[in-house]
């Protein structure tokens, strides 16, 4: 990855992982980036200003009230000349300051005074990472558009095990490259459908299903993380949509089809929505009442098949069309037949029988069916499965162009 001409402002917080930030500097500079270091007071307890400035080949900024610095380069300017601000390690305290909008030292002031994109690499003790306060702060920071890499799970310096270890320098470098427009899906447009649809019976009642939208949201986020421009067409899902994607909210299957068609052209389309197969033809304009005339009569008609409609487009069809097959029996057989019937390129099959806990749960086990064969993706988190799919798509597009 080439970071030539890119300027990164690296804020080093006070955690044991700060030593990895020295290696991070080396890796960034190897790829051509200029790195200006900012060291918090706590950070200076873990790495010295001298080692940081030697590795960066630049002066370390570490004190908001240094008047010489203010005369040479004010803190506001310092944050704005950078293409990206990287906070590594982002300690629980730094995250809290960022989420709260504090500005009581150089690092927090820089972060508040800038509109430069920010990438943080959290690192802290497991309990601190899982604490409700840190969860809240992470939610706020994500909603504010701050990107995160890691933390990873593993043995920690404090002797505990779990999530909280800072991402490795090379993982941070990859995330930096993606933020700076160098991801493998940069320049690609992907449309993702997600969530259930609601088909009205009358103004207050509807037909729905148990889809939470978790897998679709994870897929959209993973594609975004590889640099794709993502249009996320979502029914009324439980899970919030990811940040940094173009969100189109719909209720019904007909609206979903319109939104997908309106979002084209796209390089790739992924249909993760659990679309209702039927809608009520005679949906009432007013709330239906119990009454002497007996039970209401609902006429069902078939909804448009969005996946099949797009997969069979004669002109402007996305190069790669991916469907899902949520099955409760004969999963592989049904999925293989479904791929052909719908005319899509790939099908991801999963077993949604209640015993698997997949529908609405955090994990998924998938089987990828393509023209070339079948691949099993063993049970893993929906986030990990999404990352695998995004990576697979990037590889496929690259291979089909060479
Ligand atoms: O036929 P079935 O509902 O099992 O097909 C599942 C796949 O087709 C999923 O990818 C789903 O998003 C898509 N689908 C669709 N429009 C429909 C029904 C299903 O796009 N009306």
Tokens 């790669």, residue located: 320
Alpha-helical segments (H) within 61-210: 67-72, 75-80, 92-100, 106-112, 126-130, 132-143, 169-179
Q: Is the CB of 327 under 6 A from ligand 1?
A: no
Average pLDDT rounded to a whole number, residues 252-256:
98
Give SS3 for 50: helix
Q: Which domain holds residue 390?
A: 189-400
Cite the active site residues. Answer: 158
- At 117-169, the pLDDT tens digits run 999 999 999 999 999 999 999 988 987 889 899 999 887 777 778 889 999 99
CA of 151 from ligand 1 middle (Å) equals 35
What digits encode the pLDDT tens for the residues 109-120? 999 988 899 999
Are 173 and 98 in a shared domain? yes
Ligand 1 centre distance from Cα of residue 307 (Å) = 6
Mark whether 150 and 212 lie in a shared domain. Answer: no
Report CA(265)–ligand 1 centroid distance (Å): 20
Ligand 1 atom showing the smallest separation from residue 326 Cα:
4
Q: Categorise residue 327: left if φ over 0, alpha if ψ from -120 to 50, beta otherwise.
A: beta
- Within this chain, do residues 178 and 206 fall inside the same structural domain, yes or no? no
End-to-end CA distance of the chain: 19
Same domain, 210 and 266: yes
- Whether ligand 1 lies within 6 angstroms of the CB of 275 is answered as yes
Report helix, strand or coil for 244. Answer: coil
Residue 2 lies in a domain: no
pLDDT at 68: 65
- Number of structural domains (the chain) is 2
pTM of this prediction exceeds 0.85: no
Centroid of ligand 1 to alpha carbon of 203 (angstroms):
25
Please choose from 250, 323, 359, 389 the residue to mutate so as to test ligand 1's pocket, defined by most ligand atoms within 8 A of CB. 323
Same domain for 328 and 278 = yes
The CATH number of the domain where 237 resides is what?
3.40.50.10300
Does residue 1 lie within any of the structural domains? no
């Amino acid at each position: 990855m080439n970071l030539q001409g890119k300027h990164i402002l690296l804020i080093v917080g006070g955690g044991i992982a700060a030593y990895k930030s020295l290696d991070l500097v080396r890796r960034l500079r190897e790829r051509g980036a200029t790195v200006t270091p900012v060291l918090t007071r706590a950070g200076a307890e873990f790495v010295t200003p001298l080692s940081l400035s030697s590795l960066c080949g630049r002066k370390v900024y570490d004190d908001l009230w240094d008047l010489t610095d203010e005369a040479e380069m004010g803190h506001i300017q310092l944050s704005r000349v950078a293409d990206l601000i990287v906070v590594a390690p982002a300690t629980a305290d730094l995250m809290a300051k960022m989420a709260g909008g504090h500005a009581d030292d150089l690092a927090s002031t820089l972060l508040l005074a800038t509109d430069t994109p920010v990438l943080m690499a959290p690192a802290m003790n497991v309990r601190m990472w899982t604490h409700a306060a840190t969860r809240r702060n992470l939610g706020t920071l994500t909603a504010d558009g701050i990107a995160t890499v890691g933390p990873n799970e593993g043995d920690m310096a404090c002797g505990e095990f779990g999530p909280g270890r800072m991402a490795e320098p090379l993982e941070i470098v990859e995330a930096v490259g993606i933020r700076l427009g160098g991801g493998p899906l940069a320049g690609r447009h992907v449309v993702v459908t997600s969530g259930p649809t609601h088909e009205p019976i009358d103004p207050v009642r509807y037909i729905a299903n148990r889809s939470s939208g978790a897998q679709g949201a994870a897929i959209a986020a993973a594609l975004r993380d590889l640099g794709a421009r993502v249009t996320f067409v979502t029914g009324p899902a439980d899970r919030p949509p990811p940040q940094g994607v173009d969100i189109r909210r719909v209720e019904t299957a007909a609206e979903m089809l319109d939104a997908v068609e309106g979002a084209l052209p796209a390089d790739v389309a992924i249909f993760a929505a659990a679309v209702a197969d039927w809608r009520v033809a005679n949906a009432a304009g007013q709330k239906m009442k119990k009454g002497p005339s007996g039970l209401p009569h609902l006429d069902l008609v078939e909804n448009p098949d969005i996946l099949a409609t797009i997969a069979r487009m004669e002109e402007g069809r996305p190069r790669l069309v991916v469907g899902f097959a949520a099955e409760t029996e004969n999963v592989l057989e049904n999925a293989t037949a479904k791929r052909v019937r719908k005319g899509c390129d790939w099908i991801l099959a999963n077993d949604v029988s209640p015993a698997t806990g997949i529908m609405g749960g955090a994990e998924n086990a998938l089987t990828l069916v393509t023209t070339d064969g079948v691949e099993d993706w063993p049970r893993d988190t929906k986030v990990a499965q999404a990352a695998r799919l995004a990576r697979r798509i990037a590889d496929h597009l690259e291979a089909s162009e060479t």
